[in-house]
């Protein structure tokens, strides 16, 4: 689907009445292109409707810290559903749906540090659209299943496994792992996580591939 068509559809989601806010969710496997699409859509909405109309809030800010993962013995499975603060993420989505008079601060994720960063993002009161993305937005497990009802639309971002894993390899090597360490982490953690995410695809209303989107 052409990018211009996706942008038109997102523009149509933006409430025309002041004080209303829509939430668009993008689910998909690791390195499918969720954050790239989310940023492009946010910038496109702001370009057409004015700066501050849209905001981008990724789920990755709710990664548990490395210290907590070490305490739980889950560092080697970072990115699995139980390595996120899903309750905190759901609470944030509820605040975003309800709050319009004050800014809402949200955590971000720093890939260089490989750690969440508190209050790294802000959603201004005037934002009428929030684009959020993450692996498990369509998951049916406890905690995650509450997300779908908080979103106005939920799309699935798709990409072939070989493309995703090549991106992951580059990402982890840039982050400081050796190529062997990166490949081992992809096999042990990223691939099982992706398989779980792929099973949730049917819970999304649209499937989008950036590899086929242009214009």
Under 8 Å between Cβ of 78 and 132: no
Share of the chain above pLDDT 90, in %: 89
Question: How much is the pLDDT for 214?
Answer: 36
Question: How much is the pLDDT for 105?
Answer: 97
Task: Check whether 215 has a pLDDT greater than 60.
Answer: no
Task: Check whether 1 has a pLDDT greater than 70.
Answer: no
Question: Range with the lowest mean pLDDT among 10-19, 20-29, 38-47, 136-145?
Answer: 10-19
Question: How much is the pLDDT for 213?
Answer: 44
Best CA proximity match to 130, nearest among 177, 97, 85? 97
Question: How much is the pLDDT for 101?
Answer: 86
State pLDDT tens for residues 136-185: 999 999 999 999 999 999 999 999 999 999 999 999 999 999 999 999 99
State pLDDT tens for residues 152-166: 999 999 999 999 999
State pLDDT tens for residues 99-109: 678 999 999 99
State pLDDT tens for residues 66-89: 999 999 999 999 999 999 999 999
Task: Give the integer Cα–Cα distance in Å for 61 and 46.
Answer: 23
Task: Check whether 17 has a pLDDT greater than 90.
Answer: no
Question: How much is the pLDDT for 2?
Answer: 77
Superfamily of domain 3-208: P-loop containing nucleotide triphosphate hydrolases (3.40.50.300)
Best CA proximity match to 144, nearest among 72, 96, 82? 82
Question: How much is the pLDDT for 212?
Answer: 52
3-state SS string for the chain:
CCHHHHHHHHHHHCCCCCCCCEEEEEECCCCCCHHHHHHHHHHHHHHHHCCCCEEEEEHHHHECCHHHHHHHCCHHHCCCHHHECHHHHHHHHHHHHHCCCCCEEEEEEECCCCEEEEEEEEECCCCCEEEEEECCCCCCCCCHHHCHHHCCEEEEECCCHHHHHHHHHHHHHHCCCCHHHHHHHHHHHHHHHHHHHHHCHHHCCEEECCCCCCC
Beta bridge partners of 205: none
Write down the domain spans for the chain: 3-208
Rg (CA), the chain: 17
């Amino acid at each position: 689907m052409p990018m211009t068509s996706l942008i038109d559809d997102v523009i149509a989601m933006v409430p025309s009445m002041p004080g209303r806010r829509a939430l668009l969710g993008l689910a998909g496997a690791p390195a499918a292109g969720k954050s790239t699409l989310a940023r492009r859509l946010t910038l496109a909405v702001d370009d057409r409707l004015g700066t501050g109309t849209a905001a981008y809030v990724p789920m990755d800010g709710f990664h548990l810290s490395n210290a907590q993962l070490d305490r739980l013995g889950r560092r080697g499975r970072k990115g699995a559903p139980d390595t996120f603060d899903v309750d905190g993420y759901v609470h944030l989505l509820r605040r975003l749906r309800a709050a319009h008079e004050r800014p809402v601060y949200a955590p971000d994720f720093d890939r260089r540090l490989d750690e969440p960063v508190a209050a790294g993002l802000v959603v201004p009161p005037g934002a009428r659209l929030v684009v959020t993305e993450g692996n498990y937005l369509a998951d049916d497990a406890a905690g995650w299943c509450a997300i779908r009802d908080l979103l106005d639309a939920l799309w699935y971002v798709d990409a072939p496994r070989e493309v995703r894993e090549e991106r992951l390899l580059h990402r982890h090597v840039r982050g400081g792992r050796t190529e062997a360490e990166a490949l081992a982490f992809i096999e042990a953690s990223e691939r099982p996580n992706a398989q779980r995410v792929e099973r949730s695809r049917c819970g999304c209303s649209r499937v989008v591939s950036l590899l086929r989107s242009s214009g």
